[in-house]
Structure 1
Amino acid sequence: MSPESKIHVGADSKTPEGTSRSTPPARASDDPDYAANLKRATLASSIGSALEYYDFALYGLASALIFGQLFFPAMGASAALMASFGTYAVGFLARPVGGLFFGALGDRLGRKAVLMITIAIMGGASTLIGVLPTGAQVGIWAPIMLVALRLLQGFGAGAEQAGATTLMAEYSPTQRRGFFSALPFVGIMVGTLMASGVFAILGQIDRDLLLDWVWRVPFLASIFLIAVAVFIRLRMQESPTFIKLEKQDQISESPFRELIGSSMPSVLRGIGLRMAENGGSYIFQTLGISYVTTVVGVSKSIGPLAIACGAAIGMLVIPFSGALSDRFGRMRVYRFGAALQLVLAVPSWWLLSLGNPYLVVATLAVSYGIGVNVMLGAQCAALPELFGNRHRYIGVAVARETSAILAGGIAPFVGALLLSLLNNSWVPLAIYVLVLSVITFATTFVTPETRGRDLGLAWDAMADPVHGPEAVASESKDRVDA
C-alpha cells in the first residue's frame, strides 16, 4: 500500500482541494492528565535544549578562545583560530545527516524514542571532549579525535531541536501554541547562559592552569545534564499527534520520500526563515567574541559576559515573542525580528570596533538577546506548522539543519577568513549580517501564515486551499473565534 493511500483524513478535515481545516477542540485547561503531560513535555524539551546549546555554545566559546592553542599549537595565531573554527563548522556538516536519519525515525517510531537516543549521543560526545589529549601530547591525532567527536556531537544534535520543536507544537493548546512552543527554547538561553558563565569564570583563572586541565571541567559536566534529561524523558508520554497516527494506521513508511515529493517549497521557506536567526546567533556568539577579543583587544571575560547578558534577555524575549505570534501572527512577528537585526547590523559592529567594554556588553546583549530571539520565539511554532503530520519531524529537521550549515556553521569560519583577508575590518562582518537579515525578511513575505493551523492535517501549509499570509491569518482567527 502506498503512503498516500494510507492517509485517512478525519470527518471534519477535507483534502487540500476542499475548504474545511477545522482544528480539533483543545483539551480543557483543568484536565489533570493533559496538564501533567504538557508540563513533562515542556520540561523534557527544555532540558534537551539546554544541553544542546550548552554543548554548542561551550564548543563555540572554546573555539574562539582556547582550542587553537590546545589542538593546533604549531600554527600561528590567525591560522590556529581558523583551524579551530573549522572544527566548529564540521559539527554542522553532521547535523543534516543526523536530522535526516533521526528525523525519519521520529516520524516512524515516535518523537519520544528518538529524543532519548539523540540526547545520549550528543551529551556523550561532549563529555568525551573533556578527556581528549591535546596537540602537544599526541600531535595530529588530537585534532583528528576532536573532529570525530564534533561530528558525533553534530549527528546527535541534528534532530534534537527538531524533535523538541515538533513535540511541543503537537502538545500545545492551539490558541496558545506560539507561547507554549517557545517555552522549551528558553532552555537554549539557559544552556548558552551556563556556557557563557562558565567561560566568564574561566577567564579569571591563570592562563597556564586553564590550558593545563581546567578547560576540561565544563565538558565533563555534560554528563550530569544527560542524566537529568534521560530521567525526565523516560516519564514523558508520546506526542498526541503521533499516537493518533498510530491508531489510524497513518504512519508514513518513507517520510523522506514524502518530504522530497511534496514538501520542498516548505523546506526552502524554513531555510530562508532560519538564515538571519541561526546565522545571527552564531555570528554574535562566536565571531563577535573572537573579534572583540583578538582584534579589538578587550578582556577575554567580556565576550562571554556579554553573551550571558544576551541569554538572560532572551529568556524573556522568546516566550514573549511566541505569545505575540499567537495574537498577531507568526510572520508579522518574525518579520519584525528580521527587520530589527537588519537595522542593528552596521551600528552593532561599529560599536564593537570601538573596544569599550561597556559598549561591547550592551551591543552583543541587545543584538543577540533581542534581535535574534524575537525571530526564534515566532519560529518555534511556525516551522512545525509548515509541515503535514506524517513527515513533520523530518521536515523541521531538514529545514533547521540545512540552514544551520548555510548560516550558522560556516559563519565563524567565513568571518575569520574575511578578517584575515581584509585587514581586520568590521565592515564585511556587518554586510554579512545584513545579507542574512535581508534573506529572512524577504522569506516572511512568501511564507504562509500558519497561526492556529490544524496539526492533524497530512498536507503542508503550502498546500492549503487559501495560503496567502493575510488570508490564512484571517481564516485562522475566524476558526479560533468560532
Structure 2
Amino acid sequence: MGQQWYDFALYGAASALIFGPLFFPQQSSVGGTLASFAIFAVAFFVRPLGGLIAAHVGDRIGRKPILVFTVTLMGVATVAVGLPPTYESIGIWAPILLVLTRLLQGIGAGAEFAGAVTAVAEYVPRNRRGFYTSFSQASVGLAFVLSTGLFSLLAAIPRDALPGGAWRIPFIASIAIFGVAIFIRRRVEETPEFVEVKTKIGMETTEPQKIPLLRAIKESPPELIVGILCGSGLNVAGYLVNTFSLSYVKNTLEMSATVATLGVVVATGASVVTVPLFGLLADRFGRWPVLLGGAVFTALYMPFYFLLLDTRQAGLVLMAMGIAYGVGQSAMPGSQGAFLSELFATRYRFTAIAASREINVMILGGTTPFIATALVAASNGSPWLVVLFVVACQVRTIASVLLMRTTRNHDAENAASNAEPRNSVPVTGPAGE
C-alpha cells in the first residue's frame, strides 16, 4: 500500500513545486501550477475504471493476484514519470508523455486501497479491524514524509541543477520500494474469509458468480451511496494540506519552499502515529463516531487553518498543518477502512469498496488542488472560498455517516455465515449503538 501513496505523493509534491516551469514554461506561475495540478488530477479520473476492473477479478478469482499486479503497474509507471524529457527538449510532447505515465499510475492505483483494506479486513479479528486497516491509511503519511522530504532535500541543490535532472531521482529511486512491495505480496496467502466464501459458493451452485458490481448495486444501494459520500471530507482535507498547501504557502504567501515542504513533512509525519490511534478508538467506540468526529473537527477548524497560514510565521504554519492533518484528517482515514469493509458482504466487498472509494476520489481527491488554486486566484489571493468548499465536503461526510445508521450491517451477516465466527465489535457505536 505504501508504494501507491509514495508514487502519488511524489507526483503531488512535484506538481506543486517544480513541474510548472519544467513542463509548462510558457504559462504564468499560476497557470503552470494549474496545468500541473490538472495532470495530477488525470490519474484520479481513470482510477475508478482501473479499480473496478481489478476488483471484479479480485472478487471472482482472489485478492492476492490483483494486489501483485497493481503494485507492479504502479512501480513501473512511477519510474517512467522520472524519464520523459522536459518542454525545453521536446516541446508539447513533454506534458503529453507526463499525462500517459500519470494514466498508468491511476489505473494501477485504482484497486490499491480497496484491495489492501479488503485483504487486511479479511485476515484480522473484527474487534481489531479498525486498528489494522488503519495502517493502510497511515502509510499515506509515511509516503508523503518520504516524497516531500526528498524534494525538500533537493531544494537545497542550486536552482539550475534541479530542473536539469535532480528532480528525477525520487521517481527513479522508487524502484527500491517497488521491489520490496513485490517481494512481500508474492508471499502473502489468499484471505481465509474469501476462500471460505468461494468454497461455499462452489458447493451451493455450479453457476459462475454473478458480476460483483451488479450484485452490489442490486443488494446494497444505500451502502454504496454511503460509501461514496463518506470519503468526501477526508479526500478534500487530505489533498488540501499535503498538495495544495505546498503551492499556497510558496506561491500565494510567497514563503520559502522549505517551509512548505517541512509543513507537509510535519503534518503527514504526525498522521503516521495518529491514524492508528484513531483506528484503536474506532475499535473501542465504533466506526461512525470517529469518522463523524473527524469531519466535524475539520469543518470547524478550517477557518483557523487559513488564519494561521496567513500569519506567514513559519512556526504557526507548521502547527496549522500538523493539526489539520494529524487530528481532523487522520480521524477519518483511521476509521474509514473498517467502516467500508463492514458495509459490504464478502462476495462483492472488494468491488464495492473500490467503487465507493474511487468514485469519490475521482470527483474530489485529484481535483482538490486544482479547485482550491482556482478559487484562490478568483478571489485575488483570499482563501475563504476554499474554506467554504472544504466545509461543504465535510458536511457530505457527516450526512453519509448519519445515513449509514439506517443501512444493514453486512458484517453481522458475514459473521453469521462463518463456521468459526471471530470476536465481534460494535460497528456503529458502543454497545451496538
TM > 0.5 fold call? yes
Task: State the alpha-carbon separation in 1 of the partners of residues 285 and 325 from structure 2.
Answer: 23
Write the mapping of 1:260-339 to structure 2, written as runs, cut at 5 A: 260-339=217-296
1:272 and 1:403 in contact (8 A); partners too: yes
The 1-side partners of 2:259 and 2:305 are apart by 16
Q: Name the CA shift for 1:337/1:305 in 2 (closer, same or farther; >3 Å).
A: same
Q: TM-score, normalised by structure 2?
A: 0.93
Give the alignment partner of residue 59 of structure 2, picking from 88, 101, 107: 107
TM-superposed CA distance for 1:253, in Å, is 3.4
In 1: Cα distance, 2:269 partner to 2:240 partner: 18
1:433 match:
390
CA distance, structure 2, for counterparts of residue 82 and residue 174 of structure 1: 43
Q: 1:408 and 1:131 mapped to 2: Cα distance?
A: 26
What pairs with 1:133-152 in structure 2 (closer than 5 Å)? Answer: 133-152=85-104
Contact 2:286 2:430 in 1 (8 A): no
Contact 2:129 2:338 in 1 (8 A): yes
Distance 2:416 2:254 in 1: 54
Give the secondary structure class of the aligned counterpart of 2:257.
coil
Aligned ranges 1:94-243 → 2 under 5 Å: 94-243=46-195
The amino acid that maps onto 1:338 is A
How big is the shift at 1:442? 2.1
Q: Is the 8 A contact 2:344 2:411 kept in 1?
A: no
How far does the alpha carbon of each residue in 1:291-345 deviate from its partner, in whole angstroms, 9 at most, with x for none?
Answer: 1110101110111211111122111111111111111110011111111101111
Match of 1:252 in 2: 209
**DSSP 3-state at the match of 2:329:** helix
Distance 1:458-1:136 versus aligned 2 partners, 3 A rule = farther
Matched, 1:453 2:405: no
Rate the CA distance shift 1:298–1:471 in 2: closer, same or farther, 3 A: closer
Structure-1 separation of matches of 2:132 and 2:254: 41
Give the C-alpha shift of residue 185 in structure 1: 2.5
| Separation in 2, partners of 1:101, 1:54 | 23
8 Å CA contact 1:98, 1:156 repeated in 2:
yes
Q: 1:318-397 residue pairs with structure 2 within 5 A?
A: 318-397=275-354
Q: SS state of the match for residue 402, structure 2?
A: coil
- Structure 1's unaligned 5+ residue stretches are 1-48, 460-469, 478-482
Offset at residue 249 of structure 1 (A): 2.8
CA contact (8 A) 2:51 2:354 kept: yes
Amino acid paired to 1:259: A
Q: Could you tell me how far 1:457 is from its partner in structure 2?
A: 6.1
User: CA–CA distance in 2 between the matches of 1:198 and 1:455?
Assistant: 46
Corresponding residue for 2:373? Answer: 416
| 2:374 maps to 1:399 | no
Q: Quote how far apart the aligned CAs of 1:453 are.
A: 3.0
User: Cα RMSD between the aligned structures?
Assistant: 2.0
Secondary structure of 2:411's aligned partner = coil
Q: Does the CA-based 8 Å contact 2:343-2:410 persist in structure 1?
A: no
Question: Is the Cα contact below 8 Å between 1:193 and 1:312 reproduced in 2?
Answer: yes
**Does 1:77 find its partner at 2:3?**
no
Segments of 5+ residues of structure 2 without an aligned counterpart are 203-207, 418-425
Aligned CA distance change for structure 1 residues 214 and 474 (closer, same or farther; 3 Å): closer
Give the AA of the match of 1:78.
V
Q: What letter is aligned with 2:342? A: E
Sort the Cα spacing of 1:455 and 1:71 in 2 relative to 1 into closer, same or farther, 3 A.
farther
Write the deviation string for residues 193-222 of structure 1: whole angstroms up to 9, x where unpaired: 101211111121111101101000000011
Q: Which has the higher mean CA deviation after the structures are superposed, 436-445 or 378-387? A: 436-445
- Partners of 2:220 and 2:94 in 1: CA distance: 41
State the AA in 2 paired with 1:417. A
- Structure 2 vs 1, CA of residues 103 and 458 (structure 1 numbering), >3 Å: closer, same or farther? farther
- Determine the C-alpha separation between the residues in 1 that align with 2:160 and 2:317: 26
Distance 1:290 1:213 in 2: 21
Query: How far off is 1:252 after superposition?
Result: 2.8
Q: Is the 8 A contact 2:43 2:103 kept in 1?
A: yes
Distance in 2 (CA, whole Å) between partners of 1:118 and 1:208 is 36
- 1:260 is displaced (CA, Å) by 2.3
For the residues of structure 2 that align with 1:323 and 1:75, how far apart are their CA atoms? 47
